[in-house]
């Protein structure tokens, strides 16, 4: 006869313990494994995270269905998650470009280090390790045990555990230069879980977000191979030589800022589809009381657009003034 397992709600100190063990996996064990196993060391580190999440939930007598809410997703839910990811991505790209403008060497060094690691394994293996495994293992830790255990801290305000776990997620990426973009992504995934009660959507968000830079890396790898054959230099030299003079103008930042307003519309529509059919989300997307949301989106998008245009014009004017001063000297 099967015994019924007694379960208890997780408490905040349970989440703190899991974060401590996860930090050991990410910052100590992971790098050590990476030195000897490359990207395969990351796979082992991710599996250790999953073991920590599941094992601690068992030890703490947590309810697995509550801590890891896995349910059948809907088409509208998945499509809404995709649109929400698109919107958040557009906004974080603008922020990333702004940070890169002021700290190009730091941002480039982080990106190139990750890209070079991806190239050491077959493409399918890289997809599994970089996109699929974190969607399961990291979500089990951050949107599973940690989010569930920190939920009581909100005292009825869902945004406290959402923002808190999102910031912790950003900090776990180990780079101050990547903190804000990854924290925003973490907040978005925590919000999706809080609103849907289904971890599948957060996993999907996480997977496609990790898959995009991987696909871009493969595309750049193809370009770098062309440079390698054309220049008859070493492959490593072609890779780093292609990016040695990397830098962006503030006009480029302005382009991203000007276009980031569309991200707000993607977020709104994606959020609507996630809640489709629930009270307050009946009818058309901008019908009834939601018409004022449309006006707010238009105003916010217009502000971002003009800020971006002002950045572009200001950058062009500054460059023109610089050329004139050098010419007269």
Number of domains in the chain: 1
Q: What is the pLDDT of residue 218?
A: 73
| Separation CA 241–CA 237 (nearest Å) | 5
Is the pLDDT confidence value at 3 over 80? no
Q: What is the mean pLDDT of the segment spanning 257-284?
A: 91
Is the pLDDT confidence value at 239 over 50? no
Pick the range with the lowest mean pLDDT from 76-90, 119-133, 141-155, 189-203: 119-133
Q: What is the mean pLDDT of the segment spanning 237-247?
A: 49
Is the pLDDT confidence value at 244 over 50? no
Copy the structure tokens of residue 220. Answer: 């750049």
Average pLDDT, the chain: 86
Look-up: residue for tokens 């808190």? 164
Q: What angle do CA 246, 250, 254 make, to 5 degrees?
A: 120
Q: How confident is the model at residue 115 (pLDDT cuts 50, 70, 90)?
A: low
Residue ranges making up the domain that contains 189? 12-66+108-228
Residue 85 belongs to some domain of the structure: no
Residues of the chain with pLDDT > 90, as a percent, come to 60
Q: How confident is the model at residue 76 (pLDDT cuts 50, 70, 90)?
A: very high
| Cβ-Cβ contacts under 8 Å for 323 (sequence gap 6 or more) | none
| Separation CA 163–CA 32 (nearest Å) | 31
Look-up: residue for tokens 């480039």? 108
| Separation CA 238–CA 240 (nearest Å) | 6
Residue 303 belongs to some domain of the structure: no
CB–CB of 93/244 below 8 Å?
no
Residue 271 belongs to some domain of the structure: no
CB–CB of 148/66 below 8 Å?
yes
| Separation CA 86–CA 84 (nearest Å) | 5
Q: How confident is the model at residue 73 (pLDDT cuts 50, 70, 90)?
A: very high
| Cβ-Cβ contacts under 8 Å for 117 (sequence gap 6 or more) | 34, 38, 39
Look-up: residue for tokens 């871009």? 216
Is the pLDDT confidence value at 324 over 80? no
Which range is most confident: 112-116, 213-217, 304-308, 313-317? 304-308
pLDDT in tens, 123-141: 888 899 999 999 999 999 9
CA distances from 286 to 270, 281, 290, 309 (A): 13, 10, 5, 28
Residue 260 belongs to some domain of the structure: no
Q: What is the pLDDT of residue 238?
A: 46
| Separation CA 164–CA 154 (nearest Å) | 10
Residue 302 belongs to some domain of the structure: no
Q: What is the pLDDT of residue 1?
A: 39
This prediction has a pTM of 0.88
Residue 177 belongs to some domain of the structure: yes
Q: What is the mean pLDDT of the segment spanning 273-292?
A: 83
Copy the structure tokens of residue 267. Answer: 């977020």
Residue 179 belongs to some domain of the structure: yes
CB–CB of 147/58 below 8 Å?
no
pLDDT in tens, 6-21: 889 999 999 999 999 9
Residue 246 belongs to some domain of the structure: no
Torsion angle of the four alpha carbons 205, 209, 212, 213, in this order, in degrees rounded to the nearest 10: -170
């Amino acid at each position: 006869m099967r015994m019924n397992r007694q379960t208890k709600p997780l408490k905040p100190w349970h989440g703190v313990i899991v974060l401590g063990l996860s930090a050991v996996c990410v910052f100590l064990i992971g790098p050590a494994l990476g030195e000897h196993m490359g990207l395969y060391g990351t796979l082992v580190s991710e599996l250790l995270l999953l073991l920590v999440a599941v094992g601690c939930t068992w030890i703490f007598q947590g309810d697995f269905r509550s801590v890891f809410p896995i349910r059948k997703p809907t088409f509208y839910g998945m499509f809404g998650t995709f649109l929400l990811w698109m919107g958040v991505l557009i906004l974080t790209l603008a922020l990333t470009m702004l940070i890169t403008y002021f700290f190009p060497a730091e941002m480039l060094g982080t990106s190139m280090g990750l890209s070079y690691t991806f190239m050491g394994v077959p493409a399918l293996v890289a997809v599994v390790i970089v996109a699929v495994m974190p969607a399961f293992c990291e979500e089990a830790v951050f949107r599973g045990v940690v989010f569930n255990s920190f939920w009581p801290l909100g005292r009825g305000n869902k945004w406290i555990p959402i923002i808190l776990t999102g910031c912790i997620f950003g900090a776990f990426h180990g780079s101050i230069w990547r903190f804000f973009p990854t924290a925003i992504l973490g907040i978005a995934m925590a919000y999706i879980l809080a609103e849907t009660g289904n971890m599948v959507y957060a996993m999907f968000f996480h997977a496609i977000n990790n898959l995009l830079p991987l696909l871009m890396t493969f595309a750049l790898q193809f370009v770098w191979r062309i440079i390698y054959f054309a220049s008859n230099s070493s492959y490593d030299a072609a890779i780093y030589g292609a990016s040695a003079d990397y830098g962006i103008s503030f006009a480029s930042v302005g382009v991203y800022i000007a276009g980031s307003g569309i991200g707000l519309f993607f977020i709104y529509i994606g959020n609507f589809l996630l809640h489709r059919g629930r009270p307050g989300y009946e009818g058309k997307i901008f019908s009834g009381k939601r018409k004022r949301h449309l006006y707010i989106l238009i105003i916010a998008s217009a502000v971002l657009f003009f800020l971006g245009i002002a950045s572009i014009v200001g950058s062009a004017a500054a460059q023109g003034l610089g050329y004139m001063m050098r010419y007269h000297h």
